[in-house]
Amino acid sequence: MRLNKFLARSGLDSRRKCDELIRSGKVLINGKIVTNFGYKVLNDDVVMCNNKYVSIEDDKVVYLLNKPRGYICTSKDTHNRNKVIDLIDTNLRLFTIGRLDRDTTGIILLTNDGDIANSLAHPKYQKEKKYYVKTKGKIEISDIKKIKNGFRLDDGTKVKAKIFQSSQLGNNYEWDIILTEGKNREIKKIFSNFGAKVTLLHRYYFAGFQLNNLNPGKYRKLSKIELNKIIK
């Protein structure tokens, strides 16, 4: 098995993140640094990353969690903040498929398999992510057209989204936003670009999955049927 696939299958991280770890010289095989993604891992090879042994779990799992406000999506944190992985009672090494900001709520998927993560998170697969958004500040019709057609932020990042206004009360607006990529803080940056401030951000749909009646902080394990739909 190729080294980058081996690391992803181990649950270390997504395929792209594993490529970065290999490239940066953080992966050792039998005590030697290996930077070749295509290295074939043998059954008796001893693989380490960041001074920890790496092996492949037999079972692939995906958990669907309703992320509460105030939780971060990283696996490690030096500031002792609440992490979403700590909400799931398991001994498996999990990581999130994509991320939500600390103050963003809603659906987040966690897995121990990098290939599954890649199939759901990589932009080329165009998996839809749907958000309910509250803002302060008006956005003009011409700005809405720009968002739908795509435009560049001040930092040069190209952004594009489907956007629908659902209600208005004074200077407070409610929106439905649909993304297929989900760059870092993309929705907040989009509204800020046009002078509006996001006051609430909640993701209610991701790649065909919904929260239904799942309460904040609660989770469920995807069934084999659901898992097979992702893997196929």
- Active-site positions read 101
Closest CA to 97 of 163, 14, 26, 39: 14
3-state secondary structure 47-106: EEECCEECCCCCCCCEEEEEECCCCECCCCCCCCCCEHHHHCCCCCCCEECCCCCCCCEE
Q: Token pair for residue 112?
A: 């121990």
107 and 208 in contact (C-beta within 8 Å)?
no
Please name the amino acid found at residue 109: L
> What is the tally of helices (H) and strands (E) in the chain?
6, 15
Q: Token pair for residue 29?
A: 């095989």
85 and 96 in contact (C-beta within 8 Å)?
yes
Q: Measure the CA–CA gap between 221 and 141, rounded to whole angstroms.
A: 42
Q: Token pair for residue 116?
A: 């599954």
Which residue has 């939780």 as its token pair? 71
